[in-house]
Amino acid sequence: MKILAVSDEVVDRIYELIPQGHFKGTQLVLGCGDLPYEYLEYMVTLMNVPVFYVPGNHDPAYAPDMHGGHAPGCTNIDLRTARFQGVLLGGIGGSIRYRPQAVNQYTQREAFLRAARLAPALLRNRCRYGRALDILISHSPPFGVSDDDSSAHIGLKAINWLLRWSKPRFHLHGHLHDMHHNLKPGIAWLGSTAVMNVFPHRTVEFPDDELPGREGHL
């Protein structure tokens, strides 16, 4: 399955590339947060493929019945799971809390409490399909894997717990887009999970049996 993953920054050229068929063959779009919902709506409309997303720390509070509170035609899977063409998806939105009372920001403890709400669905997946998850998408990176020590870009430890417990093949995240981060298609590893920063967009194949060697096995 060919997947287009996007996060954090609108790439104006995508508005040209999609009508030109540049992403032909893409079967799924995954949004990892901090993108205008109109951008995601454009993709679901022009590409005619499902779009699943999670909110970032700059996104509004999710409000499915309110204009501007969700991405029309797309599916928010924050703290939810979904299944598309046999691929098991899960999502957890937001980032570490660095501003009091901010939307979609959480302390490490709050993030653990949120992540625990995914456990029943992951257990059902494991019982029904023999595995909990194939792809986890999040806005934040996991703690200590590809994050940094700035107050806004420390990873969430709850994501590490989710990855170790559910063992997805891929973890796709955004949030990291400073120039000192590796913006080339790199892969970190947490156990058997390939962790990828998708900023600002990245095409991945699932399953990919030709992943490069592990740069770190944590």
User: What is the DSSP pairing of strand 201-205 with strand 2-6?
Assistant: antiparallel
Overall average pLDDT of the 54-80 stretch:
86
Overall average pLDDT of the 116-120 stretch:
97
Domain hosting residue 176, numbered range: 2-205
At residue 190, does pLDDT exceed 80? yes
Question: What is the CATH number for 57?
Answer: 3.60.21.10
Residue 149: inside a domain: yes
Three-state secondary-structure class, residue 90 = strand
Residue 213: inside a domain: no
> How many residues would you count in the chain?
218
Instruction: Report residue 177's pLDDT band, with 50, 70 and 90 as the boundaries.
Output: confident
Q: DSSP strand E in 42-181: where?
A: 51-53, 75-76, 81-84, 87-92, 95-96, 105-106, 135-138, 170-173
Report the number of distinct structural domains present in the chain. Answer: 1
Residue 214: inside a domain: no
Instruction: Report residue 65's pLDDT band, with 50, 70 and 90 as the boundaries.
Output: low
End-to-end CA distance of the chain: 27
Residue 217: inside a domain: no
Residue 148: inside a domain: yes
Q: What is the pLDDT of residue 21?
A: 92
DSSP character string of 8-56: SS--TTHHHHTTTTTTTT--EEEE-SSS-HHHHHHHHHHH-S-EEE---
Instruction: Supply the mean pLDDT for the chain.
Output: 90
Instruction: Report residue 172's pLDDT band, with 50, 70 and 90 as the boundaries.
Output: very high
Distance CA 91, CA 93 (A): 7
More confident residue, 184 or 63: 63
At residue 153, does pLDDT exceed 50? yes
Question: Whole-prediction pTM value?
Answer: 0.92
Residue 153: inside a domain: yes
Q: What is the pLDDT of residue 204?
A: 95
